[in-house]
A and B are shown apart, each in its own frame.
Chain A
Amino acid sequence: MALLSKKDANLILDPLADNNPITIQVLGICSALAITAELKASIVMAVSVLFVMGVGNVVISLMRNIIPSKIRIIVQLVVVATLVIIVDQVLKAFAYELSKTLSVFVGLIITNCIIMGRFEAFALANGTWRSFLDGIGNAAGYGVILVIIGFFRELLGSGTLLGYKVLGDPIAKTGLYAIGYENNGFMLLSPMALIVVGLIIWVQRSRNKALIEEN
Chain B
Amino acid sequence: MAVNTEKNSYTVIFAVVMVVIVGTLLAFFASSLSGKIKENERLEKQQNILYAMGVNENEDEGSVNFVSTDKVASEFDKYIKEQLVIEGDQITENDEAYLIDLKKQETAAKAGNTRKLPLFIGEKDGEKYYIIPMRGKGLWDAIWGFVALDDTMTVQGVFFDHKGETPGLGANIKQRYFMDDFKGESILDGTEYAGIAVAKGNNDPTNEIKDDNEVDALAGATITGDGLSAMIKESVNLYKSYLETIRTNK
Chain A contacts to B: CB under 8 angstroms: 34-38, 41, 65-71, 74-75, 78, 82, 85-86, 89-90, 92-94, 96, 103-104, 107, 153-154, 157-158, 163, 165, 171, 185, 188-189
Name A165's closest neighbour in chain B (CB-CB). Answer: B62
Give the segment of B23-31, B80-88, B100-108, B226-234 that binds chain A.
Answer: B23-31
Report which of A93, A103, A153, A157 forms a contact with B163, defined as CB distance below 8 A.
A103
Chain A residues closer than 8 Å to B22, beta-carbon distance: 78, 82
Known: A78-B18, A85-B26, A89-B29. A66 touches B205 (CB 8 A): no
Q: How far is the CA of A74 from the CA of B220 in the complex (A)?
A: 37
State which residues 149-194 of B face A: CB under 8 Å. Answer: 163-169
Q: Is B220 a contact partner of A188 (Cβ separation < 8 A)? A: yes
Known: A66-B3, A93-B36, A188-B219. A82 touches B25 (CB 8 A): yes
Q: Is A89 a contact partner of B30 (Cβ separation < 8 A)? A: yes
CB distance from A178 to the nearest CB of B (A): 16
Main secondary structure of the interface of B (DSSP, over half): loop
Q: Is A89 a contact partner of B1 (Cβ separation < 8 A)? A: no
Report which of A36, A67, A96 forms a contact with B14, defined as CB distance below 8 A.
A67
Known: A86-B29, A104-B164. A188 touches B169 (CB 8 A): yes
Chain B contacts to A: CB under 8 angstroms: 1, 3, 5-6, 10-11, 14-15, 18, 22, 25-26, 29-30, 33, 36-37, 40, 44, 62-63, 140, 163-169, 205-206, 219-220
Known: A35-B167, A41-B167, A66-B5. A89 touches B33 (CB 8 A): yes
Name B220's closest neighbour in chain A (CB-CB). Answer: A188
Q: List 18 A-B contacts (CB under 8 A).
A: A68-B5, A68-B10, A69-B5, A69-B6, A71-B15, A74-B15, A75-B18, A78-B18, A85-B26, A86-B25, A89-B29, A92-B37, A104-B166, A104-B167, A154-B168, A185-B219, A188-B219, A188-B220
